[in-house]
C-alpha cells in the first residue's frame, strides 16, 4: 500500500477539499483525485462522497481513518529512528514572530541546515495572531509563537519565556527612580499589535492603575517599536533579549512598579497527520531556545 496515498487520504479528510489538499501537499488536484481513487480501488470501499462544492468522509472512510493515522504515525516514527537524517527531504513552512527572530532564529536556521540539509524552508514572520490563523488554515507546518495553541490534534511544545520590560531613550524626560503607570501614560506608548496578549496586558495595567495613555500606538513590528523609542518619541514594552541585541545602548530599562509578564513562546505542529520534520524541528527549537536561556530568557 502506498504511504503517500494514505497521507493524502488523511489530508483530504482533515481539509474536506481536494484542492486545499493539493496546495498543502504541493501537488495538483488531479494527482490528489487519482491517489484517492487508487486507494479506494485497492480497499474496495468508497472513502469520500463528492459533489461540486464539498467532499465528505463516508462511514467506511471514518472507520479507515483511525488505522490510516496509526500506519502513517508508525511509519514516520520508524523512518525517524532508522533513516539517515540527510535522507529526510521536503518543504517545511515555518511561521514565527519578531521576538523569536531577534532572540534565536538564526542559530535555529543553522541547526536545521546542519541536521536536515535536504529540507527546504519557507519562512513567514508576522504577529502571533496572524501566524496562528495561518497554522489553523494548514498554510504552515510549524508555528513558533506566543502560546500555547489549544486545538484538537495539535502538539504545543513550551520553548522559553522572554522577560519583558519598559524602555525609553535616555533623552526622554522621565522622572528618576521608580515609575508608576501614570508617569508612563504622560508619554506616547508603543505597544504590540492590537488583539495580542501583550497589548491586552498593557491596557490592563493602565486600567488597574487608573491611568490612560494619552497616545497608544498598536504596532506589529518590534523593529519599528525599537526605532521610535530610540528616537525619544515615547516609551515601549519589549522583550529584554531583543533590546540587549539590537538597541546598542540607545534605550534604558525603566524601573516600573508593575512588573510585565514574560512572553510564553511555544512550538505548535499538527499531531494528526503528524509531520515528522515539523516535530523534529520543534525539538531543535527547544534545544536552541534552552541554550539561549540566561541571555535575556528563562526556561519554559
Beta bridge partners of 252: 168
Whether the predicted pLDDT of 273 surpasses 80: no
What is the value of pTM for the model shown? Answer: 0.75
Q: Quick one: pLDDT at residue 294?
A: 61
Whether the CB-CB separation of 127 and 220 falls below 8 Å is answered with yes
Q: How far apart (Å, rounded) are the C-alpha atoms in residues 148 and 221?
A: 21
Whether the predicted pLDDT of 190 surpasses 70: yes
Q: How far apart (Å, rounded) are the C-alpha atoms in residues 198 and 15?
A: 32
C-alpha closest to that of 188 among 164, 220, 219: 219
pLDDT tier at 2, thresholds 50, 70, 90: confident
Whether the predicted pLDDT of 82 surpasses 60: no
Q: How far apart (Å, rounded) are the C-alpha atoms in residues 289 and 66?
A: 35
Q: What is the pLDDT averaged over residues 3-29?
A: 86
Whether the predicted pLDDT of 256 surpasses 90: yes
Q: How far apart (Å, rounded) are the C-alpha atoms in residues 6 and 214?
A: 57
| DSSP secondary structure code for residue 260 in this structure | P
Average pLDDT of every residue of the chain = 87
Q: What is the pLDDT averaged over residues 72-92?
A: 68
Cell numbers that stand for 212 in this block: 490612560
Q: Quick one: pLDDT at residue 284?
A: 93
Element spanning 196, H or E = none
Whether the predicted pLDDT of 218 surpasses 80: yes
Q: How far apart (Å, rounded) are the C-alpha atoms in residues 101 and 246?
A: 12
Q: Where are the beta strands (DSSP E) in the chain?
A: 48-50, 55-57, 90-96, 119-125, 142-146, 154-162, 164-168, 189-191, 216-218, 235-239, 252-253, 263-270, 298-299
Whether the predicted pLDDT of 84 surpasses 60: no
Q: What is the pLDDT averaged over residues 200-212?
A: 93
88-92, 130-134, 243-247: range with highest mean pLDDT: 130-134
Whether the predicted pLDDT of 275 surpasses 80: no
Q: How far apart (Å, rounded) are the C-alpha atoms in residues 104 and 137?
A: 26
Q: What is the pLDDT averaged over residues 82-100?
A: 78
24-80, pLDDT tens digit by residue? 787 898 999 999 999 999 999 999 998 777 789 999 999 898 888 888 777 766 666
C-alpha closest to that of 234 among 188, 194, 265: 188
Q: Quick one: pLDDT at residue 137?
A: 85
Beta bridge partners of 299: 160
Domains of the chain: 3-82 (1.10.10.10), 89-162+263-299 (3.40.190.10), 164-253 (3.40.190.10)
pLDDT tier at 269, thresholds 50, 70, 90: very high
Task: Count CB neighbours of 232 within 10 A.
Answer: 14
Contacts of 291 (CB under 8 A, 6+ apart): 104, 107
Whether the predicted pLDDT of 86 surpasses 70: no
Q: What percent of the chain has pLDDT over 90?
A: 52
pLDDT tier at 21, thresholds 50, 70, 90: confident
Amino acid at each position: 500500500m502506498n504511504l503517500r496515498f494514505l497521507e493524502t487520504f488523511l489530508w483530504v479528510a482533515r481539509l474536506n477539499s481536494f484542492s486545499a489538499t493539493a496546495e498543502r501537499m504541493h501537488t495538483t488536484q488531479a494527482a490528489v483525485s487519482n491517489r484517492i481513487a487508487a486507494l479506494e480501488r485497492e480497499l474496495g470501499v468508497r472513502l469520500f462522497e463528492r459533489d461540486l462544492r464539498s467532499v465528505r468522509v463516508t462511514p467506511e472512510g471514518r472507520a479507515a481513518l483511525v488505522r490510516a493515522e496509526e500506519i502513517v504515525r508508525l511509519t514516520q516514527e520508524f523512518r525517524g529512528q532508522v533513516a539517515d537524517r540527510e535522507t529526510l527531504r521536503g518543504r517545511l513552512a515555518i511561521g514565527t514572530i519578531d521576538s523569536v527572530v531577534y532572540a534565536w532564529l538564526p542559530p535555529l536556521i543553522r541547526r536545521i541546515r546542519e541536521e536536515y540539509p535536504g529540507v527546504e524552508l519557507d519562512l513567514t514572520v508576522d504577529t502571533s495572531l496572524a501566524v496562528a490563523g495561518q497554522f489553523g488554515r494548514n498554510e504552515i507546518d510549524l508555528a513558533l509563537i506566543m502560546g500555547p495553541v489549544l486545538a484538537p490534534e495539535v502538539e504545543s511544545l513550551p520553548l522559553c519565556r522572554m522577560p519583558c520590560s519598559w524602555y525609553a531613550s535616555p533623552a526622554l524626560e522621565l522622572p528618576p527612580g521608580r515609575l508608576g503607570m501614570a508617569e508612563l501614560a504622560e508619554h506616547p506608548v508603543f505597544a504590540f499589535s492590537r488583539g495580542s496578549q501583550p497589548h491586552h496586558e498593557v491596557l490592563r495595567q493602565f486600567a488597574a492603575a487608573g491611568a490612560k495613555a494619552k497616545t497608544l500606538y498598536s504596532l506589529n513590528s518590534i523593529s519599528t517599536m525599537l526605532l521610535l523609542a530610540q528616537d525619544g518619541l515615547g516609551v515601549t514594552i519589549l522583550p529584554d533579549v531583543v533590546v540587549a541585541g539590537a538597541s546598542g545602548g540607545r534605550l534604558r530599562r525603566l524601573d516600573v512598579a508593575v512588573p510585565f509578564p514574560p512572553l510564553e513562546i511555544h512550538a505548535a505542529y499538527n499531531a494528526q497527520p503528524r509531520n515528522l520534520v515539523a516535530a523534529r524541528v520543534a525539538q531543535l527549537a527547544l534545544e536552541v531556545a534552552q541554550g539561549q536561556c540566561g541571555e535575556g530568557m528563562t526556561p519554559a
